[in-house]
Amino acid sequence: MTSTAAEPLFLRACRREPVERTPIWMMRPAGRYLPSYRAVRSKHSFLEMCGTPALSCEVTLQPIDQFGFDAAILFSDILVTLPPMGLEIAFPEKGPVIAQPVRDRAAIDRLVVPDPVAELPHVMEAVRQIRAGLAGRVPLIGFAGAPFTLLTYAVEGGGSKDYVQTKKLLFGDAAAAHALLEKMADTVAAYLAAQVEAGAQTVQIFDSWAGILSPRDFEEYALRWARHVIAKLRAHPAVAAARVPIIYFVNGCAPYLDSYATSGADVLGVDWRIDLSTVRARVGDGVALQGNLDPGALYLPPDQLRARVEAVLDQGGPLGHVFNLGHGVTPETNPEHVRVMVESVKARSWSASR
Amino acid sequence: MTSTAAEPLFLRACRREPVERTPIWMMRPAGRYLPSYRAVRSKHSFLEMCGTPALSCEVTLQPIDQFGFDAAILFSDILVTLPPMGLEIAFPEKGPVIAQPVRDRAAIDRLVVPDPVAELPHVMEAVRQIRAGLAGRVPLIGFAGAPFTLLTYAVEGGGSKDYVQTKKLLFGDAAAAHALLEKMADTVAAYLAAQVEAGAQTVQIFDSWAGILSPRDFEEYALRWARHVIAKLRAHPAVAAARVPIIYFVNGCAPYLDSYATSGADVLGVDWRIDLSTVRARVGDGVALQGNLDPGALYLPPDQLRARVEAVLDQGGPLGHVFNLGHGVTPETNPEHVRVMVESVKARSWSASR
């Protein structure tokens, strides 16, 4: 037994230190599948909830209290860094809308790299309140969108089916694309460092749309700038002092495993489309993995759901695995099945195998 | 020199026989990027065009005449088999809509396996007219949606972002899902065999949405039923007699390469997210590959576009490669860049390397 029992299970798994069992959290635990979340949401807009520390804190703590996840994640949105850069966003039911997307060099040059502490003080206050509310029970994860994923929203003006505007910018004016990515990366690095200074104990960088790229373009446009964020974070005193684990999550990572392994992150998020054992064989033992149950598996009958959880645990193994869904939980999910998933993970002990 | 010059280049590449150069066609060559297509489309609805053999023939031949592709593909839609099964579809601008999706066993049991010759005579007539119009210049490819992809449309009622209804059916009632997939597969097999009897010289099965599945679910719900279609086709006298190549295209195939290689198809379609060299190393030499330029690369300046075409040709190699985009061409593409792509492929000779 070489682990320090004083360090939280989740942080030890992120650092590939020994654990008694695999820790679990879920993307995203505060969502419409949860009745207590919907009760808050019925009284406030999504933007109000992101902008009000007490509300953000309340819904962040709900799933910890109800399911006993091994880590909490700040309730916020990957796009909150865009308005301070100069991009106004609305959040109608159908997803985010940026009325004036940036598609040329002039529009990109008008964007600023904001001071996140000055511009997003409510986020830092939410982090402090959540840490107080958690009272040491489990670690708190901060997060941000990855530079490339933020670029897709800024350029498309929202979500997209075929990302034509993104491709037109990347392939029509690569220099402008990199100028935009650099501003995104500097903003994200400062924003995540500020979250750590406010109390976040781990950070996750969400590259939700990097999976639309060919392998060479993934390296040039997504990975390069995620590395930039990670390197800047590593050099930050607060991040270095606390050995804050950095999680990088590329949704649709299967084609890029060799380069994905070189991101510099402590933990690689893995979506549900690929087996964890395949990923482990390709990325080696130098990095932890997080994932990767299909969110759709929560629609299975409990006995079949348990079997799928077991299969993910078997593939993840005892060292360097954080159990999670491979993508966000869907609104129609039965919360009782979330409970079955958490209990199944917690029932599996690795003590006997050491 | 062992190749029979009398056999078309495209068919030889599909069969992994020697070729002087790599053949090229493009998904989908008759589309809104093409002014001559838009001229026809401005006078007719999409459904009219699919349902009128003379119009289908006209737009099928346009890109052959204008760009000199090495194969033509029937102008139609992957969903045309659904109305004869009992699912009415509308095609508004935003994509197909099925007003009454099937989500339970009773609705699935009401669907029929139609006789495609009796129910879709205009498709067979279009195939005959196109063959006459081609007059032997290049082979004609027929096509259909794959069973799993057709299931997603039938269940979701159209396209989807997270395929929740699909997952609910697969994981909530697997037996019902397989009953639906079997009807889809029997319909598709009969429909493709009828296209071959009418004159199609190759067939492609489009599994556009199989990439939303975990590896085990890909095998159980997508690959299993694609194999069923391929096996039925192989056993059909007209398909066997003419050695009709069968192409299976899974969009987002990277996570499934080991099982993808066992589909039974002559040619595996490869999307742009993964390198052809990676795919070849994993699937071996027993199957041809088709792909895989990023459709977005057509937005590159011509000299950079040429370099990307060269890179795909290098990875594809001289034996068993059909050049194609990794997915459909986008409407804003400049037709002159399509011409650059075709000329770049045709300029590369493999004669010296043999």
Q: How far is B127 from chain A (nearest CA, A)?
A: 30
- B20 by DSSP, 3-state: which? coil
Q: Residue B92's pLDDT is what?
A: 87
Q: Judging by beta carbons within 10 Å of its beta carbon (0-12, 13-18, 19+), is residue A311 exposed, middle or buried?
A: middle
CA distance A6 to B228: 56
Residue A299 among the catalytic residues? no
User: Does any CB of chain A come closer than 8 Å to the CB of residue B277?
Assistant: no
CA atoms within 13 A on the CB side of B233: 38
Q: Judging by beta carbons within 10 Å of its beta carbon (0-12, 13-18, 19+), is residue B83 exposed, middle or buried?
A: middle
State the residue for tokens 């149950």.
A293
Helix, strand, coil fractions of chain A, as percent rounded to 5: 50, 10, 35
Instruction: Give the residue with greater pLDDT, B351 vs A83.
Output: A83
Residues B61-75 pLDDT 10s:
999 999 999 999 999
What CATH code is carried by the domain that includes residue A113?
Answer: 3.20.20.210
Taking alpha carbons only, the member of A255, A167, A220 closest to residue B297 is A167
Residues of A in contact with B250 (CB under 8 A): none
Cβ–Cβ below 8 Å for B297 and A171: yes
B272 → closest Cβ in A170, A214, A297: A214
pLDDT beneath 70, residues of chain A: 1-5, 352-354
Interface-testing mutation among B28, B168, B214, B256, with chain A (most A C-beta atoms within 10 A):
B214
Q: Residue B114's pLDDT is what?
A: 98
Taking alpha carbons only, the member of B315, B246, B325, B252 closest to residue B63 is B325
Q: Other C-beta atoms within 10 Å of B38: how many?
A: 12
**CB-CB contact of A289 with A270 (8 Å):** yes
Angle at alpha carbon of residue A219, lines to A218 and A221, rounded to 5°? 65
User: Does any CB of chain A come closer than 8 Å to the CB of residue B252?
Assistant: yes
User: Does any CB of chain B come closer than 8 Å to the CB of residue A214?
Assistant: yes
Interface-testing mutation among A273, A282, A341, with chain B (most B C-beta atoms within 10 A):
A273
User: Does any CB of chain A come closer than 8 Å to the CB of residue B299?
Assistant: yes
Residues of B in contact with A255 (CB under 8 A): 254, 273-275, 278
Residues A21, A37, A70, A153: which is the catalytic one?
A153
CA distance A301 to A323: 20
Q: Does position B77 have pLDDT exceeding 60, yes or no?
A: yes
Strands B72-73 and A246-250: unpaired
Full domain range(s) for residue B15: 9-353
Domain count, chain A: 1
Establish if A220 belongs to a structural domain: yes
Q: Residue B353's pLDDT is what?
A: 57
Establish if A83 belongs to a structural domain: yes
The token pair at A73 is: 């994640």
DSSP string, B314-327: HHH-SSSEEEEESS
Positions of B annotated as catalytic residues are: 28, 32, 41, 77, 153
Q: Does position B2 have pLDDT exceeding 50, yes or no?
A: no
Compare all CA atoms of chain B with the CA of A326 and give the residue at the minimum distance.
B214
DSSP string, B51-96: H-HHHHHHHHHHHHHHH--S-EE----TTTTHHHHT--EE--TT--
Q: Residue A6's pLDDT is what?
A: 73
Distances in whole angstroms, Cα of residue A26 to Cα of each of A253, A298, B36? 18, 12, 51
Residue A153 among the catalytic residues? yes
Q: Does position B180 have pLDDT exceeding 70, yes or no?
A: yes
Residues B307-327 pLDDT 10s:
999 999 999 999 999 999 999
Q: Residue B351's pLDDT is what?
A: 83
What is chain B's length? 354
**What is the amino acid identity at position B266?**
D
Residues B82-97 pLDDT 10s:
999 999 999 888 889 9
CA distance A301 to A338: 12
Q: Residue B258's pLDDT is what?
A: 95
Establish if B3 belongs to a structural domain: no
pTM of the model: 0.96
Distances in whole angstroms, Cα of residue B281 to Cα of each of B216, B241, B324, B341? 21, 31, 19, 26
Compare all CA atoms of chain A with the CA of B274 and give the residue at the minimum distance.
A255
User: Does any CB of chain A come closer than 8 Å to the CB of residue B350?
Assistant: no
Q: Which stretches of chain B are DSSP H helices? A: 9-14, 35-41, 46-51, 53-67, 82-85, 105-110, 116-119, 121-134, 147-156, 164-172, 174-198, 215-217, 224-234, 237-241, 257-260, 276-283, 302-316, 335-347
- A111 by DSSP, 3-state: which? coil
Q: Residue A1's pLDDT is what?
A: 39
Establish if B306 belongs to a structural domain: yes
Residues B112-146 pLDDT 10s:
999 999 999 999 999 999 999 999 999 999 999 99
Residues of B in contact with A161 (CB under 8 A): 159
Residue A32 among the catalytic residues? yes
The whole-chain average pLDDT of chain B stands at 96
- B343 by DSSP, 3-state: which? helix
Residue A248 among the catalytic residues? no
CA distance A210 to A248: 11
Q: How far is B2 from chain A (nearest CA, A)?
A: 35
φ/ψ region of A99 (left if φ > 0, alpha if ψ in -120 to 50, else beta) reads alpha
Establish if B1 belongs to a structural domain: no
Residues A50-84: b if buried by 16+ CB within 10 A, e if exposed: bbebebbbbbbbbbbebbebbbbbbbbbbbbbbeb
Residues A41, A103, A131, A227: which is the catalytic one?
A41
Q: Is the dihedral of CA B229, B232, B236, B239 positive or negative?
A: positive
CA distance B101 to B120: 21
Establish if A353 belongs to a structural domain: no
Quick one: CA torsion of B111, B116, B119, B125, rounded to 10 degrees?
160
Cβ–Cβ below 8 Å for B168 and A212: no
Compare all CA atoms of chain A with the CA of B301 and give the residue at the minimum distance.
A172
Q: Residue A3's pLDDT is what?
A: 44
Q: Does position B1 have pLDDT exceeding 50, yes or no?
A: no
User: Does any CB of chain A come closer than 8 Å to the CB of residue B340?
Assistant: no
Establish if A95 belongs to a structural domain: yes
User: Does any CB of chain A come closer than 8 Å to the CB of residue B254?
Assistant: yes
**CB-CB contact of A300 with A265 (8 Å):** no
Establish if A3 belongs to a structural domain: no
- A206 by DSSP, 3-state: which? strand
**ipTM of the modeled complex:** 0.94
CA distance A292 to A26: 10
Q: Residue B5's pLDDT is what?
A: 52
Q: Residue A93's pLDDT is what?
A: 81
Residues of B in contact with A294 (CB under 8 A): 167, 213-214, 217
**CB-CB contact of A120 with A191 (8 Å):** yes
The token pair at A96 is: 């985010």
User: Does any CB of chain A come closer than 8 Å to the CB of residue B163?
Assistant: yes
Compare all CA atoms of chain A with the CA of B159 and give the residue at the minimum distance.
A161
**CB-CB contact of A99 with A27 (8 Å):** no
